[in-house]
Amino acid sequence: MTRRLALLLITTLLFSLPALADRDENKSDERGKKDQDDETSMSCVQCHKKITPTIVTDWKLSEHSEEGVSCADCHGSKHTTKADVDEAEVPMPEVCAECHGEQYNQFAAGKHAKAWAALQAMPTTHALPSTLVDGMKGCGGCHKIGFKSEADLEALKEAGQEYGVASCDSCHTRHLFSKEEARQPQACRTCHMGFDHPQWEMYSSSKHGVRNDLKQLGILPEEAAGPTCQDCHMANGTHENRTPWGFLAVRLPLPEDEQWAADQTTILKALRVFNPVTGDPIPEMVQLVIDADVARLTQEAFDAERDKLLAVCRDCHSEKFALGEMEKGDETIKAIDRLMAEAITIVARLYEEGLLRRPDTYVYDYPNLLTFHDAPTGIEQRLFVMHLEHRMRAFQGVFHNNPDYALWYGWSEMVRDLTAIKEMAVALGLNLDE
């Protein structure tokens, strides 16, 4: 109660009359009628009821409107007429932080906050049409969840993009900003789907997702168990998110199993985290991995995230059951890394033996998985799909309890990729028996 009062006081002091007028709708409606010709005295809400009626409806349904958080609290009060629309401010996460410091700080410590930086670090990003990145229609459409630096904002401004900088509206969308919306797995769906991270598809057709579906439909009672993405990845409402294996399923220290450690080394070379010739870490790339929090780099960091997840499973399953499931995930990564490393090594040999000519963009005689769809040869295009689409599906499918993704969309496709890659290599002149 005291927090709400304090917030009200602060907002009252900070923001000017148009903002106050929003709160006293009846009074301002009367005044609006009197001054119909005098735009400048209209409140945000009065005018926007006509300009953008549904934005006003959403806001009125929100907790914000109930608590007296006005349009001007987020957009400032410099714009008050049709003529000065450009003066309206597009809110940054820091605006939300003024009143929601706890969620902001948690979010800032997690992976979502790093999403824009991770996108910018990929070489392929800069070869794409600007609409897909800065225009937020491709990579940018999902990675906009990340915080933007001053330099990022400058670049966006230059590209003519002023929207998409709020981050916090990714799960509780404007202008409802609803906690209930953000709690539903659908809130994650737009981004966690498709080619290389179909968590929505895997989860929603797993037993966990189906249970939750039936609860949402009112067929199963509210109290029945049916875990959501949030239950597992935002336990107790925390806004800090990170998983043990991460997106790429590589980590340090390398596994104790010798063959597996060698296979992860091969993958890390193809990801250019390790030098393909010496096998030593490449300092700039290691720094990037640290800055973007791409992988867990110590056993403790990995175990800490595992323990958090296991604690969630234990609400509904026995510890023995849950530990067994995690082990199956780890075993899957070990098995798919064998296939992946074999494929990478074949392509590397093509370069080493001069059967493929090194493109100008390559520093090493070694495939580069970070080139994505810009991979310079047909065989590396197949390697790209094997890595980013099929390897991802195989292990993510196991962790999300989806047998079809683990097998047919994952493992089975990888085996087919490897066969095709071998055939292409032989056609290029490689002797696979050597």
Tokens linked to 318 = 């026995």
Separation between Cα atoms, residue 120 and residue 239, nearest integer Å:
23
Among 32, 134, 148, 177, binds ligand HEC (CB under 6 A): 177
Which of 32, 356 has the CB closer to ligand HEC? 32
Nearest Cα neighbor of 325 from 338, 337, 312, 336 is 312
Half-sphere exposure of residue 234: CA atoms within 13 angstroms, side-chain side: 19
x/- site string to ligand HEC, residues 355 to 374, per CB under 6 A? --------------------
Judging by beta carbons within 10 Å of its beta carbon (0-12, 13-18, 19+), is residue 94 exposed, middle or buried?
A: exposed
Of 394-433, binders to ligand HEC (CB under 6 A) are 396, 399-401
Which of 317, 338 has the CB closer to ligand HEC? 317
Please, what is the minimum distance in Å from the beta carbon of residue 350 to ligand HEC? 25
CB 136 within 8 A of CB 208: no
Nearest Cα neighbor of 209 from 191, 190, 230, 194 is 230
Binding flag, residue 52, ligand HEC (CB under 6 A): yes
Among 164, 276, 367, 410, binds ligand HEC (CB under 6 A): 164
Among 23, 211, 308, 338, binds ligand HEC (CB under 6 A): 211
Among 23, 31, 215, 242, binds ligand HEC (CB under 6 A): 242
Which of 209, 367 has the CB closer to ligand HEC? 209
Binding flag, residue 125, ligand HEC (CB under 6 A): yes
Among 20, 191, 271, 347, binds ligand HEC (CB under 6 A): 191
Residue 419: CB atoms within 10 A of its CB come to 11
Please, what is the minimum distance in Å from the beta carbon of residue 433 to ligand HEC? 37
Tokens linked to 53 = 């009626």
Nearest Cα neighbor of 186 from 176, 171, 175, 206 is 171
CB 430 within 8 A of CB 346: yes
Which of 139, 341 has the CB closer to ligand HEC? 139
Of 100-119, binders to ligand HEC (CB under 6 A) are 100, 103-104, 107, 111-112, 114-115, 118-119
Among 59, 260, 274, 409, binds ligand HEC (CB under 6 A): 59
Tokens 């037993």 belong to which residue? 207
